[in-house]
């Protein structure tokens, strides 16, 4: 869920100073200069409820240069947040081990900053992602432990008589199956340490009652503006709490809330449907008012009116058949690791648009809110999934793993709930779904999504069927996502491996139908081959750009010709760093080289081949 205070509104109390000045990116993205989506709150026209023209809640970015020290292989329990270190200065967000000084190092590290808030001021600090493991201390007191490196979380700032506060974040990028079961060394992407995403501080009303979440769900009548609007307060109000709700430029309406969670079903005035062709975004602002009608707190969020469903065996968006053409994308660049600058995200989406894609699978973790903002605005459809990569049955049955998996899945849902670009939610990429012992976590995860995010489709990417194994959990999903690599892995001795692709896709559809899931669309969620940038080979053999181009062209042509198939996501958009050392023999350069562009986004031959097929469809 993206809840924003706009840039103009960052009215930090005069007494408050911070060592950080940059406005939040989300606020920037919602700049009032956007023609399509004018800022209603800067309009001079007074609304019916005399809403203030400026938003109420001060939100301040805590990004910037922080103190930093790499502590290495320390015993975590011995960490003392009051200890002084030989500080260097590092930016937040950052992956410290993307820098030459720490490249490839594993260990603990500490980030520290100070900021000012008024004495006794309630506040909430929101973290986009702390990786891989983290502990957050305020003024030396432990407030939170984080055990998923890509999940959003927040802490309530303990109130204090002093105005200067110290925020210390202990991070650790060492693998530890016991302490941190969600991150395993075998994952086929390099896992970094640091404060990877934005940190913001929200000042909250002194009464302690504030708006925790605003969630918009388009209903069956979405095209005529029918939505449900769930408002979550921090606590049950002692007496009826008045809120004003304003859509876009329209006059605000007042409602009275008596519970911590209230679900309203208002109609969005002047509704316009969101679609990839016309990604129209609406905005709702919710303001808590005191008895005299003065604003206490507010949240604003964007949303889209659209409907994703499976009907008659087809994937449908807004009632029309939808065919997904796209890529799996890791948030990664050699210079920034997983802390990709906004400009790089725009670059990637421009290339994906040029390739005639309408879809991105955010492999294999919860997405950066800035990327989702861009997809909302540009009309890309997104599959967002929880952190996961080939977990075996022991991990899937570990109660600590299940607890952490469930909590990061829920955090993902809350963080990105209002983004219309997300149509699919998933979990447990290529885990052991053929094992009866794994069933419980699949059931729990699907149930959690259906309970907390009922208007999206549930799926998970399986590699069992292509590997000749059963999959025992396909009854739980709306859409069957299959990762397959015929003609790449396991084709020793085959004269022309490309000939394996089409029969394998046919077989997948047949198997799904034979299992009795003929009404569920089949989605090829991964397929690809390695092509080393600049490697040309007259034999057109493995690792050459020529083989990769022919491979992807064959895969796209076949998938898009199958009636039962609702699309294809190629593996992968760009080359990425992965595990190294002895494990990397299948990974030249210690990279996964299946990108259609290399790590610097230089197109390989496959680029033109894919573009041709996607643009013809």
- Per CB under 6 A, residues contacting ligand ADA are 188, 429-430, 463, 483, 526, 571, 592, 594
Contact 462, 474 (CB under 8 A): yes
DSSP class of residue 442 equals H
Handedness of CA 522, 561, 424, 435 (dihedral sign): positive
Least distance from ligand ADA to the Cβ atom of residue 594, Å: 5
Residue 142 or 586: the one with the smaller Cβ distance to ligand ADA is 586
User: Half-sphere exposure of 309 toward its Cβ, with a 13 Å CA cutoff?
Assistant: 11
Distant-in-sequence contacts of 35-41, Cβ < 8 A, 24+ apart: 36/280, 36/281, 37/281, 37/283, 37/302, 38/249, 39/6, 39/8, 40/246, 40/248, 40/249, 40/250, 40/283, 40/285, 41/6, 41/9, 41/285, 41/300
Least distance from ligand ADA to the Cβ atom of residue 526, Å: 5
Contact 117, 168 (CB under 8 A): no
DSSP class of residue 497 equals G
**What are residue 67's DSSP bridge partners?**
89, 112
Residue 198 or 434: the one with the smaller Cβ distance to ligand ADA is 434
Least distance from ligand ADA to the Cβ atom of residue 179, Å: 24
H helices present in 1-101, as ranges: 25-29
Residue reference for tokens 């680029």: 607
**Furthest-apart CA pair in the chain: how many Å?**
80
Residue 7 or 594: the one with the smaller Cβ distance to ligand ADA is 594
Residue nearest to ligand ADA (CB): 188
List Cβ neighbours of 14 (8 Å cut-off, separation of 6 or more): none
Least distance from ligand ADA to the Cβ atom of residue 562, Å: 20
- ∠ CA 117-122-127 to the nearest 5 degrees? 80
Least distance from ligand ADA to the Cβ atom of residue 73, Å: 28
User: Residue 161, class by beta-carbon neighbours within 10 Å (0-12 exposed, 13-18 middle, 19+ buried)?
Assistant: exposed
Contact 483, 430 (CB under 8 A): yes
Residue 285 or 577: the one with the smaller Cβ distance to ligand ADA is 577
Least distance from ligand ADA to the Cβ atom of residue 50, Å: 53
CA distance 151 to 196: 10
Least distance from ligand ADA to the Cβ atom of residue 587, Å: 8
Residue 126 or 188: the one with the smaller Cβ distance to ligand ADA is 188
CA distance 216 to 218: 7
Straight-line distance from the first to the last Cα atom of the chain, in angstroms, rounded to the nearest whole number: 33
Least distance from ligand ADA to the Cβ atom of residue 385, Å: 10
Residue 126 or 430: the one with the smaller Cβ distance to ligand ADA is 430
Residue 198 or 526: the one with the smaller Cβ distance to ligand ADA is 526
Residue 26 or 483: the one with the smaller Cβ distance to ligand ADA is 483
List Cβ neighbours of 587 (8 Å cut-off, separation of 6 or more): 188, 578, 579, 593
Residue 146 or 592: the one with the smaller Cβ distance to ligand ADA is 592
- Name the residue among 362, 279, 324, 364 with its Cα closest to residue 479: 324
Residue 124 or 364: the one with the smaller Cβ distance to ligand ADA is 364
Residue 331 or 430: the one with the smaller Cβ distance to ligand ADA is 430
Residue 271 or 528: the one with the smaller Cβ distance to ligand ADA is 528
Residue 49 or 592: the one with the smaller Cβ distance to ligand ADA is 592
Least distance from ligand ADA to the Cβ atom of residue 393, Å: 18
Least distance from ligand ADA to the Cβ atom of residue 406, Å: 21
Contact 172, 26 (CB under 8 A): no
Least distance from ligand ADA to the Cβ atom of residue 332, Å: 12
Strand ranges (E), 249-376 = 253-257, 261-264, 282-289, 295-303, 308-311, 314-317, 320-321, 324-329, 359-362
Least distance from ligand ADA to the Cβ atom of residue 598, Å: 15
Contact 107, 82 (CB under 8 A): no
Structure-block tokens of residue 127: 């973290």
DSSP class of residue 221 equals T
Residue 297 or 430: the one with the smaller Cβ distance to ligand ADA is 430
DSSP class of residue 285 equals E
Least distance from ligand ADA to the Cβ atom of residue 272, Å: 37
Strand 565-570 to strand 324-329: parallel, antiparallel, or no bridges (unpaired)?
parallel
Least distance from ligand ADA to the Cβ atom of residue 485, Å: 6
């Amino acid at each position: 869920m993206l809840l924003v205070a706009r840039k103009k509104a960052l009215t930090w109390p005069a007494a408050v100073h911070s060592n950080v000045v940059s406005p939040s990116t989300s606020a920037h993205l919602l700049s009032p200069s956007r023609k399509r989506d004018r800022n209603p709150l800067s309009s001079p026209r007074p609304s019916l409820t005399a809403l203030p023209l400026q938003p109420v809640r001060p939100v301040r970015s805590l990004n910037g240069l922080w103190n930093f020290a790499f502590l290495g292989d320390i015993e975590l329990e011995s960490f003392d947040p009051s200890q002084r270190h030989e500080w260097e200065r590092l930016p937040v967000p950052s992956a410290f081990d993307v820098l030459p000084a720490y490249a490839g190092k594993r260990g603990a590290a500490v980030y520290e900053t100070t900021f000012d808030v008024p004495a006794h001021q309630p506040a909430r600090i929101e973290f986009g992602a702390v990786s891989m493991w983290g502990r957050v201390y305020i003024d030396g007191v432990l407030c939170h432990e984080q055990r998923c490196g890509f999940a959003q979380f927040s802490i309530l700032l303990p109130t204090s008589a002093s105005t200067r506060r110290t925020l210390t974040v202990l991070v650790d990028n060492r693998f530890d199956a016991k302490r941190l079961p969600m991150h395993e060394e075998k994952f086929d992407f390099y896992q970094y340490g640091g404060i990877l995403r934005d940190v913001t501080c929200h000042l909250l009303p002194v009464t302690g009652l504030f708006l925790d979440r605003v969630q918009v769900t388009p209903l069956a009548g979405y095209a005529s503006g029918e939505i449900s609007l769930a408002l979550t307060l921090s606590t049950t109000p002692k007496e009826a709490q008045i809120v004003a709700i304003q859509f876009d430029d329209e006059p605000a309406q007042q409602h009275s809330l008596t519970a911590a969670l209230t679900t309203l079903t208002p109609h969005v005035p002047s509704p316009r449907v969101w679609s990839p062709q016309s990604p129209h975004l609406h905005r709702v602002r919710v303001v808590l008012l005191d008895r005299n009608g003065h604003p206490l707190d507010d949240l604003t969020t964007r949303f889209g009116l659209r409907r994703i469903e499976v009907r008659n065996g087809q994937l449908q968006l807004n009632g029309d058949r939808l065919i997904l053409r796209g890529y799996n994308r890791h948030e990664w660049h050699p210079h920034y690791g997983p802390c990709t600058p906004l400009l790089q995200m725009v670059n990637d989406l421009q290339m994906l648009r040029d390739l005639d894609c309408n879809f991105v699978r955010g492999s294999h973790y919860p997405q950066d809110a800035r990327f989702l903002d861009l997809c909302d605005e540009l009309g890309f459809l997104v599959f967002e999934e929880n952190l996961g990569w080939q977990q075996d049955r022991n991990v899937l049955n570990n109660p600590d793993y299940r607890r952490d998996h469930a909590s990061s899945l829920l955090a993902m849902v809350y963080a990105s709930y209002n983004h219309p670009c997300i149509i699919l939610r998933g979990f447990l990429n290529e885990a052991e779904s053929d094992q009866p012992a794994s069933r419980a976590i699949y059931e729990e995860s699907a149930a959690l999504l259906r309970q907390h995010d009922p208007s999206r489709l549930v799926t998970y990417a399986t590699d069992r069927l292509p590997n000749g194994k059963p999959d025992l959990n396909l009854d739980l999903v709306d859409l069957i996502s299959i990762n397959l690599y015929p003609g790449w892995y396991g084709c020793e001795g085959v004269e022309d491996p490309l000939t394996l692709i089409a029969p394998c896709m046919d077989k997948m559809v047949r198997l799904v139908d034979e299992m009795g899931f003929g009404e569920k669309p089949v989605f090829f969620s991964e397929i690809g081959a390695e092509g080393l940038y600049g490697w040309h080979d007259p034999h057109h053999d493995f690792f050459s750009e020529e083989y990769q181009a022919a491979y992807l062209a064959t895969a796209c042509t076949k998938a898009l010709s199958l009636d039962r198939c609702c699309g294809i996501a190629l593996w992968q958009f760009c080359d990425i760093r992965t595990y190294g050392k002895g494990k990397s023999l299948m990974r030249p350069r210690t990279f996964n080289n299946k990108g259609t562009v290399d790590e610097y986004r230089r197109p390989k031959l496959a680029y033109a081949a894919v573009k041709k097929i996607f643009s013809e469809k």
